[in-house]
Structure 1
Amino acid sequence: MKAVPVLLKHLMKARSKFHERGRDESFDGKLEKLRLELSQIKKVFVRVKKNEEELLDRLAEVDGHLRKLDRKSLYQDTDAICERISDCVHKLLPKDDVDDSSEEEGHKRSEIQRSSRPSSEKHKNQLLLPKQLHTDLHILEVHEQHCLFSLLVFPEGAIIKKKHTIYWWIGEGLLKYSEDKTAEEEGEDVMDKLFQSNVIVPYGNGKCPIVNKFQINPVFRPGLLLRLREKYHSSYAVDVRTYYSPLRGTWLVLEQQKVIVGNGDSLNTRRWIDTIFNVGASYLNFGSNWLDKNMYNLKVLQLGRWQDSPSHHIEVGSEEFLKKLLNQKDLTYISLRGISRISKLPPSIAQLESLQILDLKACHNLETLPNDISSMKSLTHLILSQCYLLESMPKGIQKLTQLQVLKGFLKGNPRKTPYTVSDLATLKNLRQLSIHLGSEVVIKDGEFESLGELPALEHLKISWGVSDTRYSDIKMIFPSSLKKLHLEGFRGQKIPEWLKPSKMPKGCQELKIVGGELRSMNYDEDKYLWGMEIVHLKYLKHLKVDIAKLTGLFPFLKYAEIKQISNHSYLEWSIV
């Protein structure tokens, strides 16, 4: 079927032309949706072609026996051949379109019947559920199936962030640590498996090999819902709903735009509530006794923004509800991401000794954190990025030895934040670190050289909120484990010493430079070349560069994205 590949080719060319004229995110989203649909059809044709060839092979096998008048082989192999033919037919057609019940001369045979309209809603759902889904679900391990079914909490067509979903899975207890892999790495493996089975599909990554967002494949969603409803029951209330999840217990799902949790009327269940998940509420209010007897063992509190758009608004009537979490000894996950009107996190949060993930990203009103968080020994993920009103870091971060992800570490006025980057050298499990240099930052000699003492560090982001150019060439040493480096608002005009190829770890695969004063990608080294495979250069108004130049500087380059630089509004390039 050549039509679909040709259409895809024309679509990509047209999309590239539209990008050159200026990128429109809304329009580009529609083109991406069309690309996903065409890609899905292409995969269907490939699968049908493969199954058709398999059926023809079986028929050729029968024809060979008949031509040879091979009575013995026909007698011995007929049952097996019929079974293989039946299997091939089932692969080509939906289950209910194959009728095995008719008989002729006392022997059962298969009769293919085509139905013009489904006779029931159940039949309709089964037609929407390809047989391949049954196979794929059997391939998935139990915890992987639970991860998949959990995604059905999101609305149809939702754009879902991969990293945020993995964090949530960790909180639900679906992903476990092992000697070889962290829970987050296990989550990446589950995601890869779901992508390979085509039950979920990438969204908006264009030519980039790195997938950050995804959607549930619309072809499979009805069948997944049907399978879930066969096992688990749902009950609905006024402005929330509860249902028994396949994961562990009962979820309280907030769907209406305005919700009051703990008003005495909204919850109608005798089961323990393990998870509160905000799917659609923009205005959250909490009764004085919102953590009633059904919520003594709360494990997951997902109130914050999961939506792709940062403009999605969520606010709380009061931050007082957070004080009620004091006795939640089993709480492992809190997300307040993007919630407005939270200015202070109460000290009682620091007493949640089971808490593993605390996500406060983009809490734009947040000014104050607990003074000391050293007692949060189980914490593995602390996310403080885009909390622009924070002026200091809490004490005790360097004592959180289980910490794997620390985003938004503020380096500012030493009177308000006396802690240094050197203090983080005790965090030997730290894999992801982002540091923000505030407007009043003071950096000590050798402070950033201590980054080389973090043996597990793979992802590092440094953002400059300071205009002082003296901090454009800080002395840095990177650990050999580093794979991704992200620089934001870099004040230097040329490549600093620590970014030159001779100073970069050989295993570093990705470089991202966003904003700042960089004017040239040249460096004074003839013997060395950068080894990165993925490069992003964005919002660099003084930089002039093209793909030919980049492929010379980065001989192993596989993907490049250039956006809003001196000579390009948008350019995406891939070796594939």
Structure 2
Amino acid sequence: MSELKQPVEGSSGGGGSSSSSGGGGSCSSSTTNNADDTIIEEDSDSSCHNCNLQGMFEEIQNDLIYIKKACGKFGQWEDQVNDSMKGFAFQALDNAFKQRTGSQELTKETSYLQDKLKNTHRIVSMLKESLHSSPQLSSVNLNSQSLQLAKDSMIRREFNRYHCSVYLPAELEVESNDKIMAEISTFLEIAAVYNDLDVTTKLCLLCFSVFPENAVIKKKVLVHWWVGEGFIDTLGTSGKTAEDTANQFFNDFIEKGLIKPVYKKGRPSADSCNMDPYIRDAVIILAKRAGFFNFDSNGNPTEDFTRSRRACLVKTEEGSSIHELPYRLEQEKVQSIINVNEPNLDFRSEWFSKMKYVKVLQLGRWQSSAKHLIQVEDSEFLKGLKNMRHIRYLSLRGVSRITELPASICKLSNLRILNLNGCADLEQLPQGIGSLKNLTHLDMYECYLISHMPTGLALLYQLQVLKGFVIGEPRPGGNYCKLADLSGLEHLRKLSIHVDINKTSDAAKRELISLANFKKLRSLSISWSRLYDTPKKPLTLKRIATKKFMSRVKSTKPPPPPPSPLMDPVSVPLEKLNLNYFPGSKMPDWLMQWDLNKLKKLYIRGGSLSNLCHGKQCKWGATNVRFKFLEKLQMDWSKLQDLFPDLTYLEIFECPELSSIPCDENGVWKKAD
């Protein structure tokens, strides 16, 4: 709870098993240590030294919960409960629970505590009975000091049950108190849901604790993190991908009300999610209690990994946590580093290289927007990666000033995911990248300075997702990876390609034809470089004369032969096709030969397309279609429906020649249920 400042005495869970003790006895609970030393509690029967006292405590607790609910319901009570009795009751209750949570010596006489509890029990029972039976009960002043003391005591008691520190303001106002009561109610609900989860699901949920309040989080970010931690794997034998497994967790969290999907423009599916602030506060408490991360008094994750084995890079008004890391020794304890909002990766090479057992290095940005800039002054520290033989997930997404990766990165045999997305200064990949035998995800999207792919890509036999493959201008010797070389990757299901060739060249066409041989491909995205979209030169008298002469020459030539009839279509199992800035006016020939009967999503952005006819019947089976920046595409609603007979969702933006399309103000049309 980041806005609550003043600490109140309580136990803090930091990664070890803990116990709460009171005046007459002690209760213990069973805990399980995960492999990373995170403490996950298991349900077990509590054994108490004095059963009578425990029973009395529980009855008082139940009565107080009833009173708390009653106070919320009877806001219109007309008279006040007798001030003296109310003050005595709540003051006695507060003292009794302070004794239970350890403010008194454990050596106090049991008989004294019994007498005190009996007296408190009698008064609280009377108060409950009067609330229940009297139809003319007077209103309790919700601003009264004694009632605030009672609520404070309940908050202390409930939070101390979970061995957590409690933060309360020095003076409670009505709005502040209501907020605290809402938070404590939410916490108890979330704690109950959390306790019913299995160990892996608990650990996945705790990852949400490090993200800022109200943050919109891409699911992909969490999936990669979970793979890195080993909560899920990408090398499963059941046929399920890591994304399939993770979606089960997301759906479970959504069903239980722990997170909310974030839909963009009412699209039928959501690739992002967020968490309610109260739920996030509760998850922070649970993460701190489990020793999953360390947090400061404001609820911000810190770089302190001494108890959690996980560190966060956080920049606040007080300073940058990355500058504190050199003072944290025993780097071999570090299992994960997550960059929350640190813009400068000023790692000291000697410190960085000692993280021998790290599994997750999320150093790049997790935010979707490229406005979150991250840079390095010197990438020399990356040479320390050679010592990190256990690393499974490395993200340098959006980090600038990295021109090359050290060759030693090819020795990371356990690496599953390498994210280089948006490394705008990266010029090439290491030639030995084929040594990463367990690599399943490689993202080089928007690494525009890379002109050709190393031949080792064709040796990544476990590769499932490849983004940013470059088709460049042919060069002598041909010592680079061609698209056809990847057709032997049996697990490749998602591929994005950047065509960096002049549109007049046939080299790209010759490579793209080989896509028909990718039998497991489900998602394909192709982007054509816009560097060659130079504006036409204005016509001069000389150019006009030349143009007329060439037209006369062409008229003397025999007409070109008619186009060859379509060959038998090749079945391609694509489910999603994304075409960006295609330079032609009609669909390319290699695509016309494909049977896309499984295609569900078609996204076209920019370019010169004016004819979308596909196949012999000139129809698409896609149900989800998006068009953006298609200035030359002319079509009315009737023709579009003929072209996409199974259409259920359409999104249009900056397509001025599409007419009579019944879209809403966001450019969206949905088929009525």
Superposition TM-score tier, normalisation by shorter sequence:
0.7 to 0.9
- Aligned twin of 1:63: none
Of 340, 343, 348 in structure 2, the residue corresponding to residue 287 of structure 1 is 348
* Structure 1 vs Structure 2 CA RMSD: 4.1
Query: Are 1:213 and 2:305 matched, yes or no?
Result: no
1:531 aligns with 2:621: yes
Deviations 1:309-358 (A, max 9, x none): 11111101111111111121101111000011101111111111111111
Partner of 2:315: 256
Q: Partner of 2:255 in structure 1?
A: 196
Give the Cα–Cα distance (whole angstroms) in 1 for the partners of residues 196 and 302 of structure 2.
34
Provide the secondary structure at the position in 1 that maps to 2:284.
helix
Pairing partner for 2:612 from 518, 521, 525:
521
Whether 1:356 and 2:420 are equivalent positions in the alignment is no
SS in 1 for 2:345: strand
Tell me how far 1:159 sits from its aligned partner: 1.6
User: 1:226 corresponds to which letter in structure 2?
Assistant: I
Which residue identity lines up with residue 504 of structure 1 in the other structure?
A: D
Report deviation, 1:523: 5.2
Give the conservation status (yes or no) of the 8 Å contact 2:206–2:286: no
* Greater strand proportion: 1
In the other structure, the counterpart of 1:484 is 576
Question: Residues of 2 paired with 1:505 and 1:333: CA distance?
Answer: 34
The one-letter amino acid paired with 1:206 is K
C-alpha displacement at 1:138, in angstroms?
5.0
- Give the structure 1 partner of residue 32 of structure 2: none
Change in 2 beyond 3 A, CA 1:104/1:241: same
Question: Which residue, 399, 416, 426 being the options, matches 1:366?
Answer: 426
What does 1:27-38 correspond to in 2, within 5 Å?
Answer: none
Q: Is 1:494 the counterpart of 2:586 in the alignment?
A: yes
Partner of 2:215: 158
Residue pairs, 1:65-464, within 5 angstroms:
116=142, 119-120=151-152, 124=181, 126-129=183-186, 133-134=190-191, 136-138=193-195, 140-176=197-233, 177-232=236-291, 234=294, 241-243=303-305, 250-256=309-315, 259=320, 261=322, 265-267=326-328, 272-291=333-352, 293=354, 295-415=355-475, 418-439=480-501, 443=507, 447-464=511-528
Deviations 1:444-470 (A, max 9, x none): 77643432333321111111127599x
Deviations 1:240-297 (A, max 9, x none): 522578xxx511111017758587744267870011111111111121312265x221
Contact 2:288–2:295, Cα closer than 8 Å, also in 1: no
Q: Is the 8 A contact 1:476 1:498 kept in 2?
A: no
CA pair 116-458 structure 1, distance change in 2 beyond 3 A:
farther
Indicate how the Cα distance of structure 1 residues 152 and 442 shifts in structure 2: closer, same or farther if over 3 A, else same.
Answer: farther
Q: Any conservation in 2 of the 1:449–1:475 contact (CA below 8 Å)? A: no
Change (3 A) 1:96 1:273: farther
CA distance in 2 between partners of 1:323 and 1:219 (Å) = 42
Kindly provide the CA deviation profile for residues 530-575 of structure 1, in whole angstroms up to 9, marking residues without a partner as x: 2111111111122234555433321221211111112479511122
Paired residue type of 1:566: P
Cα separation, partners in 2 of 1:195 and 1:244, compared to 1, 3 Å: farther
Work out the CA distance in 2 between the residues paired with 1:427 and 1:486: 21
Q: Partners of 1:96 and 1:226 in 2: how far apart?
A: 26
Instruction: Classify the secondary structure of the residue corresponding to 2:633.
Output: coil
How high is the sequence identity, in percent, across the aligned residues? 32
Q: In structure 1, what residue type is equivalent to 2:422?
A: A
CA contact (8 A) 1:529 1:554 kept: yes
Contact 1:401 1:427 (C-alpha < 8 Å) held by counterparts: yes
Q: Quote the Cα distance in structure 1 between the aligned partners of 2:250 and 2:325.
A: 39
Cα separation, partners in 2 of 1:445 and 1:553, compared to 1, 3 Å: closer
Where does structure 2 lack aligned partners over 5 or more consecutive residues?
1-61, 74-120, 160-179, 535-563, 659-664
Q: 2:337 touches 2:362 (CA, 8 Å); kept in 1?
A: yes
The 3 A distance-change label for structure 1 pair 475 and 562 is: farther
Structure 1 Cα separation of the partners of residues 322 and 411 of structure 2 = 23
Report deviation, 1:147: 1.2
Would the aligned equivalents of 2:326 and 2:351 in 1 still touch at CA under 8 Å?
Answer: no
CA distance 1:282–1:114, change in 2 (3 Å):
farther
The structure whose Rg is larger is 2
**Please, what TM-score do these two structures have when normalized by structure 1?**
0.73
Q: 1:211 to 1:478 in 2, by over 3 A?
A: farther
Contact 2:455 2:480 in 1 (8 A): no
Shift of 1:198: 2.8
Question: How many Å apart are 1:366 and its aligned residue?
Answer: 0.7
- CA gap 1:299/1:320 in 2 versus in 1, 3 angstroms: same
Offset of residue 407 of structure 1: 0.4
> What is residue 574 of structure 1 aligned with on the other side?
670
Tell me whether 365-374 or 221-230 shows the greater mean CA deviation: 221-230
Task: Provide Cα deviations, 1:32-66, integer angstroms capped at 9, x if missing partner.
Answer: xxxxxxxxxxxxxxxxxxxxxxxxxxxxxxxxxxx
Preserved contact between residue 202 and residue 213 of structure 1 (Cα < 8 Å): yes
- Deviation of the 1:188 alpha carbon: 2.1
**Partners in 2 of 1:180 and 1:571 — Cα distance?**
38
Partners of 1:475 and 1:283 lie apart in 2 by: 56
Partners of 1:475 and 1:359 in 2: how far apart?
A: 40
| CA positional deviation for 1:139 | 5.3
CA separation in 2, counterparts of 1:518 and 1:339? 35
- How many pairs were matched up? 481
> Are residues 491 and 475 of structure 1, via their aligned partners in 2, closer, same or farther at CA, if it must alter by over 3 Å?
farther
Aligned to 2:631: 541
Q: Mean Cα displacement is larger for which, 474-483 or 488-497?
A: 474-483
For the Cα contact (< 8 Å) 2:353–2:384, is it kept in 1? no
Rounded to whole Å, the distance in 2 between the matches of 1:483 and 1:104 is: 68
Pairwise CA distance, 1:516 = 0.6
Report if the CA contact (8 A) 1:534-1:558 is conserved: yes
Answer yes or no: is the 8 Å Cα contact 1:301–1:333 preserved in 2: yes
The 8 Å contact of residues 353 and 387 in structure 2, kept in 1 or not, is answered as no
- Paired residue secondary structure (1:129): helix
Q: Are 1:506 and 2:597 matched, yes or no?
A: yes
Higher relative contact order (CA 8 A, sep 6+): 2
Q: Deviation of residue 151 (structure 1)?
A: 1.3
